[in-house]
Amino acid sequence: MTAGPMIATGWSLHLPGIPLAATMTDLLGRPCGAWAHELAVAPENAAAVLGRKGLLAKEPATRLALCAVHRACELAPGFRPASPLSPRTAVVACGNLGNVATVAQATRTIAAQGGRAVSVLDAPNVSSNVIASSVALWFRFGAANMMICSGAAAGLDGLRLAGLLLRAGRADRVVLVGAEPADEVASALHDGDPPLRAGAACVVLETAAAARPAGRRVLIDLVPAGAVPAAAARHTVGAAGFDPTSHWGDFYGARGVIGLALAAHLALDEGRQVVEVRDPGEDAVRVATVRVGSQP
């Protein structure tokens, strides 16, 4: 099966503290749709989206990721879904710094008080795949489960691997989610200008057979290095267009997925039809196009 466009059937931005509507209205020259007016709650208020149970010891980045998935799946706010296992839904999570604060704090606790003083509730958090596995456990996604930690390139690396999982028949649906925190430890490690910004986004990708024919969708192409995008973009997310990093801050490993979700909103919800995502990655710019269309 060759690499054609991927079908995205759901997307969300979950960027606490960022005035999407104001920023986008300036950009578009008119008030924009409801998506830009929805409140993105901070990690400590995640219960408003996710419900109260089960959030104990969940790190901020994990909470942001769960909120983004919840919203991309268009679930009712405030309730944790009681879903049966979805054995054909995979998770690809992208991010790097979600657990560094826990790891640093645990290390200092061990040195000061010994290992017995470390909470076992943090056991999942010292393993770097905690965001991916937490999303699977929360929403009961039972297919492949991967956490991509390749720095600033993680988001579009995640898109690449999500597409691979679908083409290889490992899943009918892939929940691609990016999330980073902006705590003191994470921000110091990131050490960038602009600084690290906390946020998450989710894009739900499905096979043509799995996607509901009448549902909303956009098509996503990851443009091979050196190739020219097939469709001419009317708008760019990234340098030379609207650059989330310069307006809002650096979402680092979540940046690629945030760019894709924003492009999906612009393409479909704001009628821009074809939107290009230019992501600077870690060392090389990569391009994805997001366009309105029904069939690949």
Within 274-293, the residues that bind another protein by CB under 8 A are: 282-283
Q: Which of the residues 162 through 221 are near another protein (CB under 8 A)?
A: 164-165, 167-170, 185, 188-191
Which residue from 85, 230, 232, 285 is in contact with another protein, where contact means CB under 8 A? 85
Say which residues have a Cβ less than 8 Å from residue 186's Cβ, sequence separation at least 6.
97, 98, 100, 101, 180, 196
Q: Which of the residues 46 through 65 are near another protein (CB under 8 A)?
A: none
Nearer to another protein by Cβ, of 270 and 279: the residue is 279
Strand partners, 12: 202
Give me the least distance between CB of 213 and another protein, in Å please.
26
Give me the least distance between CB of 36 and another protein, in Å please.
30
10 Å Cβ neighbour count for 97? 25
Which residue from 24, 91, 162, 174 is in contact with another protein, where contact means CB under 8 A? 91
Which residue from 149, 204, 205, 290 is in contact with another protein, where contact means CB under 8 A? 149
**Could you tell me if 166 and 6 are in contact, meaning their C-beta atoms sit under 8 angstroms apart?**
yes
Contact letters for another protein, residues 14-53 (x by CB under 8 A): ----------------------------------------
Give me the least distance between CB of 167 and another protein, in Å please.
6
Task: In whole angstroms, give the CA distance from residue 201 to residue 72.
Answer: 8
Nearer to another protein by Cβ, of 42 and 103: the residue is 103
Give me the least distance between CB of 63 and another protein, in Å please.
15
Residue 40 CA to chain centroid, in angstroms? 14
234 binds another protein (CB under 8 A): no
157 binds another protein (CB under 8 A): yes
Give me the least distance between CB of 153 and another protein, in Å please.
8
Give me the least distance between CB of 83 and another protein, in Å please.
10
Say which residues have a Cβ less than 8 Å from residue 221's Cβ, sequence separation at least 6.
4, 5, 6, 229, 230, 231, 288, 289, 291
Mapping DSSP onto H, E and C, the string for 127-162 reads CCCHHHHHHHHHHCECCCEEEECCHHHHHHHHHHHH
1 binds another protein (CB under 8 A): yes
Q: Please work out the total of residues on this chain that contact another protein, with binding judged by CB under 8 A.
A: 71
Nearer to another protein by Cβ, of 108 and 212: the residue is 108
Measured CA to CA in angstroms, residue 96 lies from 14, 120, 137, 182 at distances of 17, 22, 20, 11
**Could you tell me if 183 and 102 are in contact, meaning their C-beta atoms sit under 8 angstroms apart?**
no
What is the total residue count of the chain?
296
Q: Which of the residues 111 through 140 are near another protein (CB under 8 A)?
A: 111, 114-116, 118, 120, 122-124, 126-130, 132-134, 136-137, 139-140
Write down the residue that tokens 């929805």 correspond to.
38
Nearer to another protein by Cβ, of 198 and 264: the residue is 198
Phi, psi of 55 (to 5 degrees): -90, -10
10 Å Cβ neighbour count for 126? 13
252 binds another protein (CB under 8 A): yes
Task: In whole angstroms, give the CA distance from residue 205 to residue 290.
Answer: 12
Stretches 34-42, 84-92, 229-237, 256-264: which one binds another protein (CB under 8 A)?
84-92
